[in-house]
Structure 1
């Protein structure tokens, strides 16, 4: 469950707001999870391409054909970079500060969309506001705030406990010190248990339960069986919009976050299991040259997802392979009928999940330590947000 905090809100939002084929996405991402877990032997994550998802959620004109076009073109370029050995060269040509600026801009775009979802009642398939959200109810502001506080409590930085300073000479004092240290150890154990909870998954399950409570008749709308797959038709204009608004801003993020950063992190977390940029680039490319033609969300690896899997105990490819089997079963058994349940999913809760997904993406820019790098990062962010296009910020810088 380590990287579901990113997977769940993005896929859920795109399913509700852009009619993404949920069943097909679950089937293909499940297959990706199983294969990459078997190939690499580490908890290699499979996540949605965040920049493409952010563009789709913030731009009503960026629909499923544009999403798929972006994924196919991004995957094709990554595949070529991998098989020709040009991945490392491409990495050297793209300044890290520019990529961090795009990440910050896209993360803020997620966050602003999330605030809109929480504050206003949304007609998600059309992304139109229908008025202020009420405080009470199964999709009210109070529920959203409670979920917000729960995630902060579970995922917060917590406190740094200090050890004892001096050894006491008095026996009674020593006993008191032992009691204090025991209480501290108990607090540490409790905090460790709390911090290990998969908060996003718990919130997601709560949302599903509330969806059934809000509309019990949805049970009768569930149909068993996989989704009917068909090739997505993409016009010339949709290819163009997909490349300009999706591929261009996504490509540098995929090169660094999905390939280079994952190579470095995997060598740090799993000594002796080092992967080349070429192999990761090829696998990301192949994933998006297959499933996206049938409507599956463009996918990639990610350093954040790998770190999340490791944080929650993932040490081998078995954990992501099991996750892949679970996705595959859901996609084959329930298919697109899952969308009927998700149509009743509390949008306020969805907004909270999206908020933290945006924060996670934006925080990647925190490693810009010099004034020059920070200046470039903030300039890219400002240009991307003002121009409503991460591609514009990337090209200008």
Structure 2
């Protein structure tokens, strides 16, 4: 489809979806705050990013993805880089350079077609394992970092386990009555902002008054590149697998009626954004299956949701960066923790489709029927996914989980290597399929 026709179709869908259920789209746009806020706050307090530039460029990236894809494709921090930056107290230049290095690699993979090759041959149970592992990591992080330090009445009336219980029960009710499109994320976010403003932990200072964006240029030197390289190397597998491959798979799973963003386009959007923002000290960004799952869970169904979020970020970055920092520092962990858990649960739910409606089981019959895997194949596929998850959680590293899952897959399907198809290509093992005669499972 020509670009002009594609953009026109996407725009119509965005507008129509927003008109039908604006509260759902707005609520969904806030669904990924549980991932964004903790990292954004930590990097800002660490002096590792320029806050206003981060808001401006992540806002522009949200708007661009909403207009280009017409789906709630998220814009997230590069988590591996953020972890190293926080731990080693990176400067703004070091953090930005780490994102630049990753973006150059992803850009080359995108324009060379290598991303499509990886997508073609990486076993889908491994991709599912990466998605589930990321979801469980979010849940564990919420429990250990956000909720565990709280008490029933501490640290304040606005942030304690009583509010954790309230947020959980409210989430349960919203899930039980999901057909009514209750804007959970919107309500919880507004409540959190109100509590942050009324929080007794600090007073409103003069430096939090609104001010215009005053961008600064950050020129890195050789030392910045040397310091940033290890963080970038750790981020590359995560960006390739979770930000691009897993996001593409999840978008096909959640929006089967809509054209999924191509791997190259996902890679190019995050690369171009980082190419522009790094010189201004913006936070390194990528996409992510966890963010997509979270935004979908809380109601986002089109690009209108992330366009709305992008406009809010852009306005805040241009005029209200200082008040934003003041509020997010005080956002109640009790409410934020439950939002993170909900996001993790939504992402981990993709495991249930592994042996029923996964893309590699799809039959070419109107695109809505799937091959039913045999008992032996289901066990193999589940174990590959489980090993991938175990590697991610045990080592807290997506690359380790990926390698463990692929090796497990090779061993289980070793007999396929010596088949005629396998001998024709050394990559044949990654396209191994069960040869049992099995009936079709209608997806509907």
TM bucket (normalised to shorter chain) is: 0.7 to 0.9
* 1:298 is the counterpart of 2:285: yes
2: CA distance between counterparts of 1:202 and 1:261? 26
Deviates more, 1:204-213 or 1:305-314: 305-314
Normalising to structure 2: TM-score of the pair? 0.67
Which of 65, 72, 75 is matched with 2:100 structurally?
72
Is this contact kept in 2: 1:259–1:281, CA < 8 A? no
Which of 87, 104, 113 is matched with 1:61 structurally?
87
1:206-256 Cα offsets, whole Å, 9 max, x none, are 111011111472264413222644438573554333234322233112232
* 1:342 is the counterpart of 2:368: no
* 1:81 is the counterpart of 2:109: yes
Compute the RMSD of aligned alpha carbons.
3.4
Is this contact kept in 1: 2:98–2:229, CA < 8 A? no
Match of 1:166 in 2: none
- Alpha-carbon offset, residue 10 of structure 1: 1.7
Q: What are structure 1's unaligned runs of at least 5 residues?
A: 122-130, 159-190
Q: What are structure 2's unaligned runs of at least 5 residues?
A: 1-25, 356-377, 406-444
Please list, as runs of the form range in 1=range in 2, the aligned pairs for 1:1-397 lying within 5 A after superposition: 1=26, 3-19=28-44, 20-40=49-69, 42-48=70-76, 52-53=78-79, 56=82, 61=87, 68=96, 71-116=99-144, 117-121=146-150, 134=154, 137-154=157-174, 156-158=175-177, 192-193=179-180, 196-215=181-200, 217-218=203-204, 220-223=206-209, 224-226=211-213, 228-231=215-218, 233=220, 235-236=224-225, 238-259=227-248, 261-262=250-251, 268-270=256-258, 276-293=262-279, 294-300=281-287, 305=292, 308=295, 312=299, 314=301, 317-369=303-355, 370-397=378-405
CA 1:329–1:93 in 2, change beyond 3 Å: closer, same or farther? same
CA 1:103–1:115 in 2, change beyond 3 Å: closer, same or farther? same
- Alpha-carbon offset, residue 343 of structure 1: 1.7
- Alpha-carbon offset, residue 355 of structure 1: 1.7
- Alpha-carbon offset, residue 259 of structure 1: 3.7
Higher relative contact order (CA 8 A, sep 6+): 1
Normalising to structure 1: TM-score of the pair? 0.74
Is this contact kept in 2: 1:30–1:326, CA < 8 A? yes
Is this contact kept in 1: 2:127–2:241, CA < 8 A? yes
- Report how many residues are paired: 346
- Alpha-carbon offset, residue 2 of structure 1: 5.1
- Alpha-carbon offset, residue 274 of structure 1: 6.6
1: CA distance between counterparts of 2:90 and 2:262? 32
1: CA distance between counterparts of 2:208 and 2:82? 27
1: CA distance between counterparts of 2:294 and 2:189? 21
1:169-214 Cα offsets, whole Å, 9 max, x none, are xxxxxxxxxxxxxxxxxxxxxx633xx1221121111111011111
Structure 1 runs of 4+ aligned residues shifted over 6 Å read none
Is this contact kept in 1: 2:76–2:291, CA < 8 A? no
Is this contact kept in 2: 1:2–1:309, CA < 8 A? no
CA 1:323–1:5 in 2, change beyond 3 Å: closer, same or farther? closer
- Alpha-carbon offset, residue 81 of structure 1: 2.6
2: CA distance between counterparts of 1:202 and 1:331? 23
- Alpha-carbon offset, residue 57 of structure 1: 5.7
1: CA distance between counterparts of 2:219 and 2:337? 28
SS at match of 1:269: coil
1:345-387 Cα offsets, whole Å, 9 max, x none, are 2122222222222222333333322211211121122222222
1:39-71 Cα offsets, whole Å, 9 max, x none, are 44x24433215xx43784699526666764554
CA 1:244–1:363 in 2, change beyond 3 Å: closer, same or farther? farther
1: CA distance between counterparts of 2:64 and 2:347? 26
SS at match of 2:113: coil
2: CA distance between counterparts of 1:348 and 1:307? 18
